[in-house]
Structures are given as C-alpha cells and as structure tokens.
C-alpha cells in the first residue's frame, strides 16, 4: 500500500529526472574541465548512455543507487510501501543494465558505470577513470 496520495506520488515521480540530474551535471562539468568532449544521451547507442565518446566507443552511465539497485539484497528489505511494484521495477532495471552492458561490450564498447553518490563525493576521480580509458583507447 502506498503511503502517498496519487497526486503526491505523481509529483514525486515527476521530479525524478532521466537526464540532466545533479550527478550527471557534476560529472559533465568535471569531464569538460579535463578537456574531454562528449555527447549526451545518444539514443542511437544501445541503452542511451549518459555520456558517449562515439569515435572511441566509450559509454558512461550515471546510475542512482535506488533505481539501479546498489546493495540490492540488503536494500530491498528496507522498502516498506508498494513493495511488489518497486522490487519488480528495480530488478527489471538491473536486468536491463546487465543486458545493455553485455550488448555494448559485444559490440566493442567500453562501458563505465558510476553510482551517483560516488560521482557527488568525488567527481574528479570518476572523470579520471573515464580519462584513463579515453587515453588508452585513443592510443590504439
């Protein structure tokens, strides 16, 4: 049973962004400051990565902990309202993430996934990880 009224739930869910989130903005700013030029939310790349370096086949995803199931076995026990919906939703997201990773890797892409809190805590470290893979692929 949901604790919120349908209007409250609708307002909450409308506030969840699929692109342009704080974690995406933090990483974008750091990548740009390091001279890395990317394209954002490219629909032609399977899985629509948050950042793409097309020529080098690098896909970067910024995943929020809740919606992508970080520490899922522990966290799913903490869901108190509307459990059936959220467990199905998040496990579906996790399965889709695995499918996206597999397909991109099979197609020769480097796939990088960051958790949102890791980006917010240390965006420079995340950008350095991307830069290392960028330079390695550029050298080939």
Mean pLDDT of the chain: 92
DSSP annotation of 34? T
Instruction: Write down the H helix ranges in the chain.
Output: 6-14, 22-33, 65-68, 72-75, 83-106, 116-121, 123-139
> What is the pTM assigned to this prediction?
0.86
Position 20 scores a pLDDT of 73
Cα–Cα dist 128/31, whole Å: 8
Pairing of strands 51-53, 110-115: unpaired
Burial pattern 74-93, b for ≥16 Cβ within 10 A else e, equals eeeeeeeeeeeeeeeebeeb
Quick check: 119 pLDDT over 80? yes
Q: What is the dihedral of CA 122, 128, 131, 132, to 10 degrees?
A: -140
* pLDDT confidence tier of residue 1, bands split at 50, 70 and 90: low
* pLDDT confidence tier of residue 140, bands split at 50, 70 and 90: confident
Cα–Cα dist 75/104, whole Å: 28
Cβ(63)–Cβ(113) under 8 Å?
yes
Beta-bridge partners for 39? 52
Quick one: what percent of the chain has pLDDT higher than 90? 81
Position 136 scores a pLDDT of 97
Pairing of strands 110-115, 58-63: parallel
Position 7 scores a pLDDT of 81
Structure tokens, 121: 């805590």
Closest Cα to residue 62, out of 126, 135, 131?
A: 126
User: Domain 19-139, what architecture?
Assistant: 3-Layer(aba) Sandwich (3.40)
For 48-105, what is each residue's pLDDT tens digit?
A: 999 999 999 999 999 999 999 999 999 999 988 889 999 999 999 999 999 999 999 9
């Amino acid at each position: 049973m949901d604790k919120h009224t349908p209007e409250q739930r609708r307002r909450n869910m409308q506030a969840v962004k699929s692109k342009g989130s704080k974690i995406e903005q933090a990483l974008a700013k750091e990548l740009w400051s390091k001279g890395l030029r990317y394209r954002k939310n490219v629909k032609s790349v399977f899985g629509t990565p948050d950042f793409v370096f097309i020529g080098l086949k690098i896909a970067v995803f910024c995943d929020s902990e809740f919606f992508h199931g970080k520490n899922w076995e522990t966290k799913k026990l903490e869901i108190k309202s509307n459990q059936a919906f959220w467990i199905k939703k998040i496990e579906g997201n996790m399965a889709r993430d695995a499918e996206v990773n597999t397909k991109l890797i099979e197609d020769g892409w480097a796939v990088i996934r960051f958790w949102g809190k890791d980006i917010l805590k240390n965006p420079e470290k995340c950008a350095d990880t991307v830069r290392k893979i960028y330079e390695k692929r550029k050298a080939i």
